[in-house]
Structure 1
Amino acid sequence: MSDRESMPYDIVIVGGGPAGLSAAIRLKQLAGEAGTDLAVCVLEKGSEIGAHILSGAVIDPKALDELLPDWRTSGCSLAEVPVTDNRHWMLSEKGQFSMPHLLLPPFMNNKGTYTGSLANLCRWLAEQAEALGVEIFPGFAAAEILYNDDGSVKGVATGDMGISREGEQKADYQPGLELHAKYTFFAEGARGHLTKILKRQFALDADCSPQVYGLGMKELWDIDPAKHQPGLVIHTQGWPLTDAYGGGFLYHQANGQVALGFVVGLGYRNPHLYPFEEFQRWKQHPSIRQYLEGGRRVSYGARAINEGGWQSVPRLDFPGGVLIGCSAGFVNVPRIKGTHTAMKSGMLAAEAAFAAVQAGRESDALSTYDAAVRSSWIADELTLVRNAEPLLAKLGNSIGTVLAGIDMWMRTLKIGLPFTLKHKPDHEKLWRKEHCHAIAYPKPDGVISFDRLSSVFLSNTNHEEDQPVHLQLKDPSVPIAYNLPLYDEPAQRYCPAGVYEVVGEEEGNPRFQINAQNCVHCKTCDIKDPTQNINWVTPEGGGGPNYPNM
């Protein structure tokens, strides 16, 4: 019996992103239509809704239209900038080739989409949810899964507050809170730390391909008004990546700002590759730099992105709960969009759970939700593009793009290739350092390109320093004894926030240092470490980045 305080709810939702908030809204809508009450709460580890939300973002409003049809006239900032011009560039070191629209499948044209801040969309969704009676608790990180005696999920517990780095209770200690539910929705985003446990506990991914990921890094810039073209959307492939697949984006959004970013597939082989530096180098391309000259960088952030596609979607239900949104992995990789599919998954989960609660059931497996997703437009959309990412990963940007385009066109015409390509986990793809060439990256100029620490400063990241390190090493000897001689300890480079360092190497006494206070919660270390020795767990609630309008 726990001595922690507990609170009962019908539905507890872990994560205040688009999936979790859409689920909460839909649950309350259904309860209102049925003339009944339903107790729903949302836990958000960020200091406020939107604080940890980062996306490009060009958003397909398909699910939003279904959930809240009047959103365009209800004060939602997303309505401010519809996409008006869509360009796809193939970059060489100095030049570019614009991909003709006729070569792209129709669903790639961004017609009817909007560009803006996903964080601000979530803040607006939270307002709609609270108006319907949803209880939202920002700054409360779900740290533990609770189980009933029969093994079904009972709910979650938030993390204790006021624990020192040595594990002792400080003067301001507060024990965590238990939230008990008939059903618990896990909407943690890509590589959720509780979702990892659930997948093992209930063998949810036993019959699917492993999930694979990209690292997305993003900046906001205020640019010269003469260069600003609201609604212009640009995507790039090619340079500077030679040892990895990925690409860049530049979106002209509201208020004279552009959102630009770079995604590197985490299946890369060369341990010398430095994703953050690839991003900074990309900005120096003449076609990108032209928009930034005379401008000012105002924000930075990073986050892992699901890239496995339909073949990596696990079983979605288990006794007492479900996976929704990016916890399950519904990103459409070629379209670089996952908000609409995440929202739809939350809505479908809400409908399945509401029906179960109304029927007097609780803690069983919501198999109707899994079935609903697999017969929905989520499945239709992701099935069309299921071979795109693995073709790029296996064959590179040039050949992979051509074959992925052919496959997507064939599937659009109902004559797709008669197979689905599988994945290998990203951490298994790294080669030993002696088999790869070193990469020389230019020093940042402080005008267009920057270093990691000044970038982390712009993310407003903050953690209470005297707390247990939330980046746990299963074996503390591995970074120096194994990763350093074999891979030149790639954590020094794949982390986009400078969390990991090898210090004392020049003196012959190397030591692995973890600067946990820099962590922007991207989860790259949890994904890419070659021995899976790093385990990301939640820090104290409210810690991490505080993105203003990312």
Structure 2
Amino acid sequence: MKLLMLRRYMSSISSMPRVKDFVDLCIVGGGPAGLTAAIKFKQLDKENKYRVVVLEKAGDLGSHTLSGMILEPRSMLELFPNFKEECLANKKDNGVMLDPVTNDQFKLLTASASIPLPLTPGLTNKGKNYVGSLSTVVRWLGEKAEELGVELYTGVSVSDIIYNKDKTGIIGVATKDLGIDKNGKPKDSFERGLEFHSKQIVLAEGCHGSITKQIINKFNLREGRNNQSYGLGLKEVWEVKPENFNKGMVAHTMGYPLSKDLYGGGFQYHFGDNLVSVGLVVGLDYEDPSVSPYQEFQKLKHHPFYSEVLKGGKCIAYGARALNEGGLQAIPKLNFPGGVIIGASAGFMNVPKIKGTHTAMKSAMLAAESCYDEISKLPAFESLVEEKGEDNIDISEEPLLNIESYERALMKSWVYDELYQVRNIRPSFNTKAGLFGGMMYSGMDALLLKGKAPWTFSFGKSDATATKPASNFKPRSYPKPDGVLSFDILTSVSRTGTYHDDNEQCHLRIGKDQNLKEFTQETYPVYKGVEQKFCPAGVYEFVKDETSKYGVKFKINSQNCIHCKTCDIKSPTQQINWTVPEGGDGPKYTIT
């Protein structure tokens, strides 16, 4: 009865009309790719004829942006030829935290030692790349976009796709309704979402975006291409003692604390004023459900290579985010009727380089150029509104733009060449040769073959189906945090600035009916609480319950969610669907 009443409430809400807005280019996501697409389009629109709108779910630009981060400036210099003079030389004035890389290190860690490894071309950064904070770079890009006339709307979550009448393409997107309580009922503060109708929708949501996921499935954009494979990146920013700081130093590590069956590695980047970004990336294609990427990260910081830098310092920020690791083979078709996919939404990360901002930005520029070529042949919506009035405009029956030139341009660009050259390195670790076999092959490929091998390795299973029953493994145990170098998970979450309204509908949807008891009965006996272990924010718990058949019940602490999307990717039964919460919710990253 309660479920029926809830459905009636939701049905009555969904029947209320939304306010419509008509724009020429609508970009979903205000990260590096989304802002770059907006900037490039407006650079081409010299007469300022067309409306470009960017919709960003974070309360402020950059506050949902998490990265290592090392910036390869190639794309930035294409977009802004004077970038170095304008941005880097005056970073104290504009708040952009970037420093030239002055020292590269690559280490293989044992339990107590570090062994130098030869630098691969992808990990050679000194003299050409920059280390610092991507969230500050995003804010700088936002300022540049606004100067060109781009309309930036932050704190708005895009939750729905607007299809044309025969559902063969999309004509717009809609933002999430505000003011829905945890029971699905409208509160006094209820506000219906807005519809943005556009000639072209650009999806720039970042890795595993919720709208992008639906579009890829709807239009079968992965046909003939690999499943995407992912990693989980965990990161802290520390203020360290001056004597432990080496400005511009970049170090990458492999080995400890990860066992041979886990792909991944650590990093420490020195930038700003005594700031060190320390982190770990763990491939989500692991089999053992008792693995905890968060706990592996806490172990990493106790290794002398890291602890000697961090000792006496203070952890000031934490974050986590899923990363695309599938490479070229897993990039979906990039266009569909009514839109294109760019940046991390498509998966342009160069895994051996551990960099994706430069490729994401270049994909955005190519998409913007292709979109402008087609949209500039059409009258601007603003002129149509003035001529006919908003109520007399209906694009649901109009022919849709399907911009195939974008993917063709991408395949002729340096992005394709770069990703093709490294296409075999990440999947080589998935062969029977394991960690050391993968290291040997990847070194040979990077230094000798240079991507010219006459073969291409594939990813097979999805990360979810790679997970095996807990009975196949001996459970892993992890040391308790010491509160100095390692921390409990809730302490870390407190450093993200995350906020969700306690009386807000849960954005983490379980199956069709949010039946947590049924979910527990299906998953816990086999995987022994894998959701609690892979989540880096304490969102999922299996708490003791003597009345339950298995002695536990499933609990969702959605207010802890830091929007990493790991649950949507790794949950073995694929019953967890990450949807957008109300706009402005989530983490508040500032220097990450």
Q: TM-score, normalised by structure 1?
A: 0.96
The match for 1:342 is 360
Structure 2 residue 197 is the aligned partner of structure 1 residue 177? no
Say yes or no: does 1:433 pair with 2:470: yes
Match of 1:397 in 2: 435
Q: How far does residue 49 in structure 1 lie from its aligned partner after superposition?
A: 0.3
**156, 163, 179: which is aligned to 1:140?**
156
Greater CA drift, 399-408 or 374-383: 399-408
Query: How far did 1:396 drift?
Result: 2.9
The aligned runs of 1:414-433 (5 Å cut-off) are 415-433=452-470
Deviations 1:429-455 (A, max 9, x none): 111111111112110000000010000
Query: Quick one: which of 66, 73, 90 aligns to 2:78?
Result: 66
Query: 2:552 maps to which residue?
Result: 510
Q: 1:529 aligns with which of 563, 571, 576?
A: 571
Whether the aligned pair in 1 keeps the contact of 2:97 and 2:272 (CA below 8 Å) is no
Q: In 2 relative to 1, CA 506–273 (structure 1 residues): closer, same or farther, beyond 3 Å?
A: farther
Matches within 5 A, 1:183-198: 183-198=200-215
Question: How far does the alpha carbon of each residue in 1:28-49 deviate from its partner, in whole angstroms, 9 at most, with x for none?
Answer: 00001xx351100100000100
- Structure 2 residue aligned with 1:109: 124
User: Which of 49, 58, 68 in structure 2 is aligned with 1:37?
Assistant: 49
Which of 500, 521, 524 is residue 540 of structure 2 equivalent to?
Answer: 500
Query: Hey, what does 1:241 align to over in structure 2?
Result: 258
Q: CA deviation at 1:417?
A: 4.1
Alpha-carbon distance, 1:72 to partner: 1.7
Within the alignment, does 1:547 sit opposite 2:589 as a pair?
Answer: yes
Could you say what secondary structure the match of 1:543 adopts? coil
**8 Å CA contact retained: 1:470, 1:516:** yes
* Contact map agreement 2:237 2:277 (CA 8 A) in 1: yes
Equivalent pair of 2:122/2:352 in contact (CA under 8 Å): no
Alpha-carbon contact 1:212-1:423 (below 8 Å) kept: no
- Give the aligned residue type for 2:503: D
The runs of 5 or more residues in structure 1 that have no matched partner are: none
Matches of 2:472 and 2:49 in 1, distance apart? 62
Name the structure 2 match of 1:490: 530
Query: For the structure 1 residues 237 and 478, does the alpha-carbon distance in structure 2 shift closer, same or farther, using more than 3 Å as the test?
Result: farther
Match 1:379 to one of 387, 401, 416: 416
Is the partner of 1:170 in helix, strand or coil?
strand
Cα shift at 1:146: 0.8
CA change 1:479–1:410 in 2 (3 A) is: farther
Partner deviation per Cα, 1:102-141 (whole Å, 9 max, x = no partner) = xx2x343114000011110000000000000000001001
Say which SS state the counterpart of residue 49 (structure 2) adopts. coil
Q: Call closer, same or farther: CA 1:506–1:268 in 2, change over 3 Å.
A: farther
Quick check: 2:427–2:457 contact (8 Å CA) kept in 1?
A: no
Q: Indicate conservation of the 8 Å contact 2:61/2:139, yes or no.
A: yes
Kept in 1, the 8 Å contact 2:226–2:458? The answer is no
Q: How many residues align?
A: 544
Q: Secondary structure at the match of 2:215?
A: helix
Mapping for residues 302-313 of structure 1, pairs under 5 Å: 302-313=320-331
Q: Does the 8 A contact of 1:89 with 1:98 survive in 2?
A: yes
Q: Residue 353 of structure 2 aligns to which amino acid in structure 1?
A: R
Per-residue CA distance 1:360-404 (angstroms, 9 max, x = gap) = 397321100011111111100001111111112334322111112
Q: Distance in 2 between matches of 1:376 and 1:214?
A: 26
**Residue number in structure 2 paired with 1:352:** 370
Residue pairs, 1:452-467, within 5 angstroms: 452-467=489-504
User: What residue in structure 2 maps to residue 406 of structure 1?
Assistant: 444
Q: Out of 335, 338, 342, which is 1:320 matched to?
A: 338
Corresponding residue for 2:5?
none
Q: Which amino acid aligns with 2:524?
A: L
Structure 1 SS opposite 2:362? helix
Alignment of 1:76-91 (within 5 A): 77=91, 80-91=98-109
AA of the residue aligned to 2:504: Q
Which secondary structure state, in structure 2, belongs to the residue aligned with residue 74 of structure 1? helix
Q: Given the two structures, how large is their TM-score scaled by the length of structure 2?
A: 0.90
The one-letter code matched in structure 1 to 2:18 is R
Equivalent residue in structure 1 for 2:30, among 10, 16, 21? 16
Q: Does 72-81 or 509-518 show the bigger shift?
A: 72-81
One-letter amino acid of the structure 2 residue matched with residue 116 of structure 1: G
The DSSP-based 3-state class of the residue aligned with 1:259 is strand
CA apart distance, 1:423: 3.2
Alignment of 1:471-486 (within 5 A): 471-474=508-511, 476=515, 477-486=517-526
Deviates more, 1:197-206 or 1:141-150: 141-150
Select which of 240, 246, 250 maps to 2:268: 250
Structure 1 residue 367 corresponds to structure 2 residue 378: no
1:89-100, aligned counterparts within 5 Å? 89-100=107-118
Range with bigger deviation, 418-427 or 509-518 = 418-427
